[in-house]
Amino acid sequence: MDEHNGLDYILSLHGTRVNREDGYWWKIEAWTVTQTAFIPHGIRYNLTLHDNHNTRVFGIDNAHTIKTPRKGKFSGRVVYDHQHDSPTDKGSPYEFHSAYQLVEDFLPG
């Protein structure tokens, strides 16, 4: 891993769009921002998988806050890092470890 835990790697993927043979496609957007309490890693990102009708069916992003569960480790926290598991999912917390891990979680295998 580089000294930024993959920051340069994910930034190099910004704008990548891949069309799959089944009609689905995915894209990666990532850019640097000022570090804050809510975005301590200093990157904004949006990794999405879309079906053949251009509907997002899965995504991991930090574009907005989500409502956190009443119980558990995310209880009462303001969470920006989250994932959407379906087109109607409002988001569930995603535990950001590194940019490398983010890409691996999005593109397993």
Three-class SS string for the chain?
CCCCCCHHHHHHCCCEEEECCCCCEEEEEEEECCCCCCCCCCEEEEEEEECCCCCEEEEEECCCCECCCCCCCCCCCCECCEEECCCCCCCEECCCCCHHHHHHHHCCC
Among the ranges given (6-10, 15-19, 25-29, 60-64), the one the predictor scored with the smallest mean pLDDT: 60-64
The predicted pLDDT at position 91 comes to 84
More confident site: 40 or 53: 53
Residue 101's domain comprises 3-106
What is d(CA 51, CA 71) in angstroms, rounded to the nearest whole number? 33
The predicted pLDDT at position 15 comes to 98
Domain count, the chain: 1
